[in-house]
Amino acid sequence: MRTPVVAGNWKMNGTRASVSELLAGVKQGQPPSTVETVVCAPYPYLPQVEAALAGSGIRWGAQNVSEHAAGAYTGEVSVAMLQDFGCSHVILGHSERRSLFAEQDPGIAEKFVAVTAAGLTPILCVGETLEQREAGATGQVVEQQLMAVIQRAGVAALAGAVLAYEPVWAIGTGRTATPEQAQAVHAALRARVAQEDAAVAAKLPILYGGSVKADNAAELFACEDIDGGLIGGASLKADDFLQICRAAAA
């Protein structure tokens, strides 16, 4: 059995006041202990998140990190800095970083190596654009994104990782993949990992992301290979996020 994971991706949203209110609401609602609950916050709020979540059992993470260890990299944040605050997770290769900030598979693979070497949990995002889906290239696209990391880091590095399938056309659009569409891609991703290492594949949490809401989470999470969700917009409202966490426990 895989432990379900629900990770909130706040993206570039929040103020000190809204972070405080949101985390108070999430803590008060007590996400189920059988679900690994994570919130991924913008960098400046990480110390605030650390303090607010201390002792709560809710984990927290960043949305990106540098592949470099330290030094002359203006504007970057290292894995060691995240660890200094007790950060446990890092989202890597989100489609917004791929499309808006020109991140590519080789650089994402380097970040994956840096994060896993430090013992943090990467949440590696893969997903196709609408154009790629309509061209019938979904399987090929997500497999290429996944294999770039496996070839660089080795399949064993996936043992402590989380994979997230996020169709680009479903992110922030209100257009969710159907459970059948998502399950098909999740099963294909797991089968591809199994070709490299069946035991790693069996234990790998694969999250679905893309317009997951309180009212569609349960049917997605009921699918065999969907082990939880990566939640954008709905993670900014405590009640919605909690309902999604509860759907993952059911």
CA distance 250 to 247: 5
Look at residues 95, 221, 218, 200 and name the one whose alpha carbon lies nearest to residue 153. Answer: 200
Distance (Å, whole) CA 187 – CA 70: 38
Among 46-54, 151-159, 166-174, 182-190, the segment contacting ligand PGA (CB under 6 A):
166-174
Q: Is 245 in the site for ligand PGA (CB under 6 A)?
A: no
Based on the shown chain and the rule CB under 6 A, indicate whether residue 167 belongs to the binding site for ligand PGA: no
Residue 166 found at the interface with ligand PGA (CB under 6 A): yes
Is residue 168 within 8 Å of residue 95, measured between CB atoms? yes
Element housing 189 (H / E): helix 179-196
Is 123 a binding residue for ligand PGA by CB under 6 A? The answer is no
| Identity of the residue, 200 or 208, whose beta carbon is nearer to ligand PGA in the bound complex | 208
Residue of 191, 192, 183 lying closest to 223 (CA atoms):
183
67 part of the active site: no
CB 134 within 8 A of CB 95: no
Question: Are the C-beta atoms of residues 240 and 18 closer than 8 Å to each other?
Answer: no
Considering only 14, 61, 122, 233, the residue that binds ligand PGA (CB under 6 A) is: 233
Query: Which tokens sit at 162?
Result: 């989380």
Among 212, 220, 226, 244, binds ligand PGA (CB under 6 A): 212
Question: Of 153, 165, 172, whose CA–CA distance to 127 is shortest?
Answer: 165
Find the catalytic residue in 67, 94, 103, 128.
94
**Number of chain residues interacting with ligand PGA (CB under 6 A):** 13
166 included as an active-site residue: yes
Nearest approach, Cβ of residue 173 and ligand PGA (Å): 7
Question: Which range of residues in 51-59, 100-108, 191-199, 231-239 is near ligand PGA by CB under 6 A?
Answer: 231-239
Q: How far is the CB of 113 from ligand PGA (least distance, A)?
A: 22
- Give the residue, chosen from 127, 167, 205, 209, that forms a contact with ligand PGA under the rule CB under 6 A: 209
Residue 5, interface with ligand PGA (CB under 6 A)? Answer: no
231 makes contact with ligand PGA (CB under 6 A)? yes
- Binding flag, residue 122, ligand PGA (CB under 6 A): no
* Count of positions (residues) in the chain: 250
Question: Rounded to whole angstroms, how far apart are CA atoms 90 and 77?
Answer: 12
Rg (CA), the chain: 17
Query: Which residues are known catalytic residues?
Result: 94, 166
Interface residues with ligand PGA (CB under 6 A) are: 9, 166, 171-172, 209-212, 230-234
